Amino acid sequence: MNKTIIKLVMTILMFGLMKIDFVSSTTVDELKKLIENATIEANTYEFPTDARKFEAKDDKIIELGSYDFVIIGGGVAGSVIASRLSEIRRWNVLVLEAGKVEESEFNEMLGYTAFLALSDLSWGFSSVPQTTACLGFLNQTCRAYRARGMGGTSLMNGAVYERGMPSTFDEWAEITNDPSWSYKHVLPLFKRSEDFHLRNPNTPVERKYHGTGGPLNVEQKVPQDFVASLFLQGHRELGSDIVDYNGHTQLGASIFQLYTRNGRRQNVYEAFLRPVSQRRNLNILTKSYVTKININKKTKTAKGVMFTRNGQTYYVRANMEVILTAGVFQTPQILMLSGIGPRKHLREIGIDVIEDLEVGSRLKEDPLCQALYITTNMTKPVETLEEQLRDYLRGVGTLTQAYSTSGVAFQRSQFEEQNYADIEFIAASLDKSDFDVAYAGWKNEIYQAAWGDNTNAIAINVHNVNPRSSGTVRLRSASPFDFPLIDFNMMSDPEGHDMEVLFEGVSRVFDLMQTPAFRSINPQYKGSPLPGCENHQFLSKAYWFCFLRQTCTAANHVRGSCPMGSNPNQGAIVDSRLKVFGVRKLRVADSSVMPTSMSGHPTATIIMIAEKAANTIKSDYHHMHPFH
Ligand SMILES: Cc1cc2nc3c(=O)[nH]c(=O)nc-3n(C[C@H](O)[C@H](O)[C@H](O)COP(=O)(O)OP(=O)(O)OC[C@H]3O[C@@H](n4cnc5c(N)ncnc54)[C@H](O)[C@@H]3O)c2cc1C
Ligand SMILES: *[C@@H]1O[C@H](CO)[C@@H](O)[C@H](O)[C@H]1NC(C)=O
Ligand SMILES: *[C@@H]1O[C@H](CO)[C@@H](O)[C@H](O)[C@H]1NC(C)=O
Ligand SMILES: *[C@@H]1O[C@H](CO)[C@@H](O)[C@H](O)[C@H]1NC(C)=O
């Protein structure tokens, strides 16, 4: 056979193996049924208050033998690590995941992302009542959404692909005293995971920062919509650059890069692990809820993992290591349940202390302030659901992006001393909706006042993506079936820095409204004074401070509950090789380990951390199995 024929045959074979998205056999009617179903489910969803449904029926413990690596949590990080470690055929790898493998096509429709948070995919956490943020939400709590299932929270997130500022990683190298975390060294890991496809040439792309051929498809929404064009033009007029925010700098305006494939959600399990799930050395146990890591108290060595499944308790040993990737709330929860945590707290709860570390003491979350609704004289193009779905089946249009978002801009406030972006703006074209009230948990009177008399608007969300405030994750009790206590404590730093940054964000939204681009649609802020803020002169600085404390909630970019660093006496939980200080054969490798904010959306960076964890483990064992 000549080369062309071989190539042709290869192409045909490859196509056979690929999931063909363009020629979807699903019909508009089938999608409509899925939407109806999810709407009913979301409208009747009740938030669970604990994880008792995972409790065992008796005290019997079933021994399950041993694996070389036991990975706790098959989420974003867990899926990547399981995929990379099982490349070594002599290692056998077990993944324990509380949820299941998601099969519904509904999950792929990014336009309905918010519905997924009010479904059985959701863990259903909320923060404890807050005093400095989330005041306009039921019981003064912020929702703390996380998904359960293979792929973890990538099953219900916005699929925004964003890496943060390059200098972030140089700072991580300094904090950990390990140059391998510097941007120069982690960039190849970002690129290795990526399969970048240019589908929308309206914003620049710096090719040398992007990878092709990796497991994760990255693309932009097609086509660009009116709000995105307006947003970009307004920023141009303010002197902002239009950038590839994953290129040499994040600072500027852009449209989102998404890890979707032809406009459909591609969760991280599907991208990294499903294609190799037939490997004989890889075992994935779903519906398995981990309750504890067994650690030998004398040798301080992780021995194995306890979990429940279908009402029974199991114990599995780890020959080489236990790798904890249960996410930013449950990773610290499991560590504390296993005796690793702040001594005083564990004693109060009644847990034997094995290693005294400040687990859960530096939780970081970004405040997301999303109630700046701007009324315009623009009539929204009318699209029927039929039309939207038909577009969707071709991989384009409204339903291929979450939360109706359009443009994005990363900026530096006057308070940012280094070169990080600390404010992120996101534009979204929104209608007033009861569903939004249920999703965010708004107090209805606050939501209604923020909208005023309007029914649709362009919202410009303001995030502080480099906040100084931090919060905690603690145990409610010694029971693994109680939810952890989550206290975001946002906008609480004593200097008031975070509030000033957000206020500057609000001012800049009003600057944007003054640009010729925005003036052409006659933008007006028509919110009414919020209940609780009437004492302040409407639209004064004091009013906006009050407004922000009412309307800012959690951006779901939580991180840092078990930060890496070089010194456990300064709050570090893991070293630069992601090993837990003072304990052998135990690593943490998910969003919990991020030592600083990374100015943006965390998933791409978590994937990089997981890639690096797998590389480190391979090099620690020289790819060798200890028993051969
Ligand atoms: C609504 C929403 C929107 C978001 N949008 C974006 C976005 O657009 N872009 C972006 O970059 N990021 C986004 N994020 C954040 C991003 O999804 C998370 O930061 C990321 O998924 C965290 O990865 P992880 O591996 O740390 O944890 P997860 O992906 O949450 O994985 C943890 C896994 O562990 C499992 N687990 C937990 N406890 C146990 C236990 N005891 N036993 C067994 N298994 C357990 C969980 O079920 C889960 O599967 C969003 C998050 C939310 C909630
Ligand atoms: C609708 O939802 C129910 C329960 O949530 C499920 O059992 C059923 O299979 C769903 N139907 C479709 C068409 O997805
Ligand atoms: C608010 O708190 C009350 C009392 O503590 C509780 O009964 C109620 O369920 C809570 N509501 C929500 C939405 O959390
Ligand atoms: C919207 O308002 C602007 C500014 O007042 C005006 O120039 C434009 O013609 C108006 N457009 C419509 C559709 O009314």
153 CA → ligand 2 middle, Å: 21
Task: Report the atom number in ligand 2 closest to the C-alpha of 106.
Answer: 14
pLDDT tens digits for range 83-108: 999 999 999 999 999 999 999 999 99
Say if 546 falls within a structural domain: yes
pLDDT exceeds cutoff 80 at 23: no
Does residue 378 form part of some domain? yes
pLDDT in tens, 406-443: 999 999 999 998 889 999 999 999 999 999 999 999 99
The CB of 520 under 6 Å from ligand 4? The reply is: yes
Q: In which domain, by residue range, is 375 found?
A: 220-266+365-554
Residue with CA closest to ligand 2 atom 12: 34
Q: Strand pairing of 301-309 and 312-324? A: antiparallel
Minimum CA distance residue for ligand 2 atom 7:
37
Nearest-ligand number for the alpha carbon of 378? 4
Q: Is 158 annotated as a binding residue?
A: yes
Distance 371 CA to ligand 3 centre (A): 24
Task: Tell me the pLDDT band of 24, cut-offs 50, 70 and 90.
Answer: low
Beta strands at 257-258 and 216-220: parallel, antiparallel or unpaired: antiparallel
Torsion (CA) 149, 152, 153, 159 in degrees, nearest 10: -110
In a mutational test of the pocket of ligand 2, which residue from 26, 37, 118 has the highest number of ligand atoms less than 8 Å from its CB? 37
In a domain, 455, yes or no: yes
Q: Is 28 near ligand 2, meaning CB less than 6 Å away?
A: no
Residue 262 lies in a domain: yes
Whole-angstrom Cα Rg for the chain: 24
Ramachandran assignment for 38, one of left (phi > 0), alpha (psi -120 to 50 degrees), beta (any other): alpha
Give residues (CB < 6 A) around ligand 1. 72-78, 96-99, 117, 145-146, 148-149, 152-154, 156-160, 289-290, 325-328, 330, 334, 556-557, 590-591, 601-603, 606
Which ligand places an atom closest to the C-alpha of 140? 3
Q: Is 200 annotated as a binding residue?
A: no
Residue 501's CATH number: 3.30.560.10
Q: What is the mean pLDDT of residues 310-315?
A: 98
Q: Is residue 17 part of a domain?
A: no
Residue nearest to atom 9 of ligand 4 (CA): 520
522 labelled binding-site residue? no
Cβ-proximal residues to 395 (8 Å cutoff; 6+ apart), any chain: 21, 22, 222, 262, 263, 264
Lowest average pLDDT, out of 19-23, 395-399, 448-452, 602-606, goes to 19-23
Residue 427 lies in a domain: yes
Residue 290 is labelled as binding a ligand: yes
The atom number, within ligand 4, closest to the CA of 519 reads 4
Q: Nearest to residue 469, comparing CAs of 454, 448, 491, 443?
A: 491
- Assess whether the C-beta atom of 39 lies below 6 angstroms from ligand 2: no
Q: What is the pLDDT of residue 18?
A: 39
Q: What is the mean pLDDT of residues 118-142?
A: 98
pLDDT confidence of residue 7: 45
CA of 431 to the centre of ligand 4 (A): 21
Give the Cα separation of 624 and 161 in Å (integer). Answer: 34
pLDDT recorded at residue 197: 96
pLDDT of residue 379: 86
pLDDT at 2: 52
157 assigned binding-site residue: yes
Q: Which has the closest alpha carbon to 306: 578, 509, 56?
A: 56
pLDDT at 338: 98
Lowest mean pLDDT among 22-26, 36-40, 117-121, 569-573: 22-26
Residue 25: band (very low, low, confident or very high) from pLDDT cuts 50, 70, 90: confident
Q: Which ligand is nearest to the CA of 39?
A: 2
- Mean per-residue pLDDT for 462-486? 98
Quote the pLDDT of residue 587. 98
Whose CA is closest to atom 7 on ligand 4? 520
Taking the mean position of all CA atoms in its chain, how far away is CA 465? 13
Of residues 258 and 625, the one with the higher pLDDT is: 258
- Upstream peptide bond of 223 is cis (omega within 30 degrees of 0): yes
Please give the distance, rounded to the nearest whole angstrom, from the Cα atom of residue 33 to the centre of ligand 2: 9
Q: What's the confidence (pLDDT) of residue 68? A: 98
Number of Cβ atoms within 10 Å of the Cβ of 282: 21
Task: Give the tens place of pLDDT for each residue, 162-184.
Answer: 999 999 999 999 999 999 999 99
**Does residue 369 sit within a domain?**
yes
Evaluate: CB of 139 within 6 angstroms of ligand 3.
Answer: yes
Write the pLDDT tens digit of every residue in 53-83. Answer: 999 999 999 999 999 999 999 999 999 999 9
Q: Give distance in angstroms: CA of 460 to centre of ligand 4.
A: 20
Take residue 566 and report the two structure tokens written for it.
């070089």
Q: Which residue has the higher pLDDT, 5 or 263?
A: 263
* pTM recorded for the entire structure: 0.95
The rounded distance, in Å, linking the Cα atoms of 201 and 204 is 7
The pLDDT of residue 281 = 98
Active site residues: 557, 601
41 CB near ligand 2 (under 6 Å)? yes
As a whole number, the mean pLDDT across the chain is 94
Number of domains into which the chain is organized: 1
Question: Could you tell me if residue 541 is inside a domain?
Answer: yes
Residue 201 confidence class, pLDDT cut points 50, 70, 90: confident
Does residue 380 line the site of ligand 4, with CB under 6 A?
Answer: no
SS3 503: helix
pLDDT digits (tens, 9 = 90+) for 527-576: 999 999 999 999 999 999 999 999 999 999 999 999 999 999 999 999 99
Q: Where does residue 291 rank: exposed (0-12), middle (13-18), buried (19+ CB within 10 A)?
A: buried
Residue 227 vs residues 132, 224, 258, 398, 517: alpha-carbon distances, Å: 32, 8, 18, 12, 11
Token digits of residue 468:
């100084």
Name the closest-CA residue to atom 49, ligand 1: 152
| Ligand 2 geometric centre to CA of 29 (Å) | 15
Point out the ligand 3 atom lying closest to the alpha carbon of residue 141.
Answer: 14
Q: What percent of the chain has pLDDT over 70?
A: 95
Instruction: List the end-to-end C-alpha distance of the chain, in Å, as a whole number.
Output: 42
Using CA atoms, how far residue 141 sits from 362, 442, 443, 467, 475, in Å, is 19, 10, 11, 19, 17
